Homo-oligomer: A and B are copies of this chain.
Amino acid sequence: MSVTIKDIAKLAGVSHTTVSRALNNSPLIQEETKERIRIIAEQMDYTPNYSAKSLVLDRSYNLGLFFTTLSQGTSAGFFYEAIRGVNSVIQDRYQLIVKGIDDYTSFHSITRKSFDGIVVVSQSDDDQAIIDHIASKGIPQVVLNRPVETSGVLNVLSDEEQGAFLAASYLIEQGHKRIALIEGRKGFKSAQNRKDGFERAMRHYQITVPPAYRMPGLYDLESGHKAMQQFLTLDERPTAVFCCNDEMALGAMKAVSEAGMNVPNDISVVGFDDTVFAAYVTPALTTVRRPIEQISREGALRLLGNIENKQHETEQLLLKTELIVRESVRLLTP
């Protein structure tokens, strides 16, 4: 059917071994022989059979890109940036295989033979199981976005606690004292980190947050909307609301305007993530930017380094987040 090195060999009047060596640019083969063979291969439109290569070289040329879930809870922008980041560094060398971890009923099929390396974009503590499995199989991996306990695993993430601290501090510095919190999805590490940064800022500036000023959330528009509706029913309403991501912040702003009030004049809002639309809503959302694309690029680069140099660098890289000040927070003068 398709052209093999044996076909080329026949035409070139050499052995298939010579063809193999020539095409792999082995120093054993004479330069002019190589050139002759390359030309013939080109003419015959030869493409190597990667299954055969994989079998003998024990490399799959596959790079896994695993997300906690593909069906819910992952924001589209996050997903997109992560794929872009990884894709930008792998070039032609690997095939990028995208999976949702929750699609696996068993990790049985995840082996050294099927993946040269795996990028786990982890958003939940539950991912620990697959991370351990990958580690136990000895497959090179890098875990992005979430701090990971397993030692000896590459780990690249942004300092979300610091980002949340920045944003919460900013609210206080703008004169706010009655500050409410809409939390992230339970079980997601980011939810915990962002909350921690918020709490640290409150402690640092000695602000107390009453229980009524805390609402759970699911990282989606709906739950932000609901939470803000709750806050608005309170006798003593908060003057500012810290939302653990931008989508909930949008939902919250929606609730404010539905109640005939205005952001930021009646109530201030900050988000987290700097999603692509944050700059374009009205008012433009003040938020915290995570360098996701950079995270996934740095992670993929280090992973490829480990794969190709057969080393086992293990490092935790913490990239800085950045507060993006826009229009959704009002300066409160006493």
Q: Which residues of A contact B (CB under 8 A)?
A: 2, 45, 47, 49-52, 54-55, 60, 62, 65, 70-71, 74, 76-77, 79-81, 83-84, 87-88, 91-92, 95-100, 103, 105, 108-109, 111-114, 221, 225, 247, 250-251, 253-254, 257, 276-277, 279-282, 284
Copy number in the complex reads 2
C-alpha spacing A257/B303, complex, angstroms: 46
Q: Can you list 28 A-B pairs with a CB-CB distance of less than 8 A? A: A2-B113, A47-B108, A47-B109, A47-B111, A49-B113, A50-B114, A51-B51, A51-B54, A51-B60, A52-B55, A55-B55, A65-B98, A70-B87, A71-B88, A80-B80, A87-B98, A92-B105, A97-B97, A221-B276, A221-B279, A221-B280, A225-B280, A251-B280, A254-B280, A257-B282, A277-B277, A281-B282, A282-B282
**Distance in Å: Cβ of A271 to nearest Cβ of chain B:** 12
Closest to A284 in B: B254
**Distance in Å: Cβ of A43 to nearest Cβ of chain B:** 13
Q: Which residues of B contact A79 (CB under 8 A)?
A: 76, 79-80, 83
Q: Which residues of B contact A65 (CB under 8 A)?
A: 98
**Distance in Å: Cβ of A310 to nearest Cβ of chain B:** 15
Closest to A278 in B: B277
Q: Which residues of B contact A49 (CB under 8 A)?
A: 55, 113
C-alpha spacing A88/B282, complex, angstroms: 35
The answer to whether A92 touches B80, judged by C-beta atoms less than 8 angstroms apart, is no
Closest to A254 in B: B280
Q: Which residues of B contact A62 (CB under 8 A)?
A: 95
Q: Which residues of B contact A221 (CB under 8 A)?
A: 276-277, 279-280
C-alpha spacing A81/B77, complex, angstroms: 11
C-alpha spacing A213/B239, complex, angstroms: 42
**Distance in Å: Cβ of A88 to nearest Cβ of chain B:** 7
**Distance in Å: Cβ of A150 to nearest Cβ of chain B:** 21
C-alpha spacing A100/B279, complex, angstroms: 27
Q: Which residues of B contact A84 (CB under 8 A)?
A: 70-71
The answer to whether A83 touches B54, judged by C-beta atoms less than 8 angstroms apart, is no
**Distance in Å: Cβ of A277 to nearest Cβ of chain B:** 5
Q: Which residues of B contact A51 (CB under 8 A)?
A: 51-52, 54-55, 60, 113
